[in-house]
Amino acid sequence: HAEAVKKVEADGLRGRSGESNTKEALVSLPKHSYWFDFWLFVMFDITFFLVMYFIVP
C-alpha cells in the first residue's frame, strides 16, 4: 500500500511540473508574437501616415 501511495505522489509531482512547464511555454510564446504584432502595426502605421501625408495629396 505504501509503495502505491509513493507511486501516485511521484506521478502527481511529475504531472504538476509537466503542467507548469507547458503553461510557462504557452505563456512565453504569445509574448513574443504580441510584441511582433505591435511593432508590425507601428511600422505599418508610420508608412501609412507617410503615404497619406506625402503621396496622396
Q: Kindly list the domain boundaries of the chain, sorted by start residue.
A: 1-57
CA dihedral over 18, 23, 24, 30, signed as positive or negative = positive
Amino acid letter for position 32:
H
Look at residue 49 and tell me whether its pLDDT is greater than 90.
yes
* Predicted pLDDT at 56: 86
* Predicted pLDDT at 33: 73
Please state whether the predicted TM-score (pTM) of the whole model is above 0.85: no
> What average pLDDT score do residues 26-37 get?
69
DSSP three-state, residue 1: coil
pLDDT tens sequence across 8-29: 555 555 555 555 555 555 555 5
Where does the pLDDT of residue 34 fall: very low under 50, low under 70, confident under 90, or very high at 90 and above?
A: confident
